[in-house]
Amino acid sequence: MITELAVLRWLHILAMVYWLGGEWGVFQTSTHVINRKLPMEERRRHMETAYRIDILARTGIILLLPLGLHMGTIWGVQPYGGGWLWLIWLLSAGWLGLCWAAFVYRETDRGLRLTVWDERIRYFVIPALLISAVLSLLGYGPFEAGTGQKWFSWKVLIYGLLLIIGLQLRYIMREWTELFRVLAAGPDPEAESTLEKSLRFGKRLAYVYWVGIATVAFLGATKFV
């Protein structure tokens, strides 16, 4: 029997797959983006590939929020149902639309401005998630955190922390666009060095990111706390 929860769970799994798989694809492609031995045009093609893979990861990240809160309502660990849930979905749809608009206009001034607005939304979402999760684990709500229910708050907490890492990775990809504009004018050792440094930092973050994503998936699947 197909139920509302079953469909939401299916969509949640797809979002997790695109999130984890997308980040891995960007990680692999980025190595070619900074390869000075490759012609600039080929490096640009690899960067374009990275953007096209990354939009799937970004889509998954954003959709996980309303999907998780919706399922939380069904499981009785998240009290904001009804009109609140509709509002969450509408705001998430707007956020997702902004994210896709930034992708469509990537490598343009408009795209960079839209990306900045996408980042600013996270400045509000991240604290809201972290504060709600911590307060819930301390017994103050808004999420239920009794025996066998703490998994939801822990999941929200880790998801919020992962958004911080994701935000830093967004900064790095935005920096790529800006640096490639410099490199388009001709060889620039300083820009190349900055590009390589940002990728090294991004790769270290990516390892933590993958462990965190796997942890979120494990908590959602086992609900052992």
Q: Tell which wins on pLDDT, 173 or 45.
A: 45
Q: Which residue segment(s) compose the domain that 15 sits in?
A: 4-222
pLDDT tens, position by position, 165-195: 999 988 888 888 888 888 888 888 898 899 8
Q: What pLDDT shows up at residue 107? A: 82
pLDDT of residue 40: 86
Q: Which two tokens stand for residue 136?
A: 């819930």
The better pLDDT of the pair 11, 186 is held by 11
Residues in the chain: 225
pLDDT at 64: 97
Domains identified in the chain, total number: 1
Q: State the pLDDT confidence band at 200, using cuts at 50, 70 and 90.
A: confident
Please tell me the predicted confidence (pLDDT) of residue 218. 94
Residue 103 has pLDDT above 90, yes or no: yes
Residue 83 pLDDT exceeds 90: yes
Do you find a cis peptide bond into 142, omega within 30 degrees of 0?
Answer: yes
Whole-Å CA distances, 160 to 100, 106, 157, 191, 199: 21, 26, 5, 32, 23
**Is residue 110 scored above 90 in pLDDT?**
yes
**67 contact partners, CB below 8 Å, separation of at least 6:** 8, 11, 12, 15
Largest pairwise CA distance in the chain: 62
Is a pLDDT exceeding 90 seen at residue 100? yes
pTM above threshold 0.75 = yes
Where do we find the tokens 């139920």? 3
pLDDT at 82 over 90: yes
3-state secondary structure of 185: coil
Q: Name the token pair of 149.
A: 């229910």
Residue 162 clears pLDDT 90, i.e. is over it: yes
Handedness of CA 93, 13, 78, 162 (dihedral sign): negative
Q: Quick one: pLDDT at residue 17?
A: 93
Average pLDDT on 29-42 reads 86
Q: What is the CA radius of gyration of the chain?
A: 19
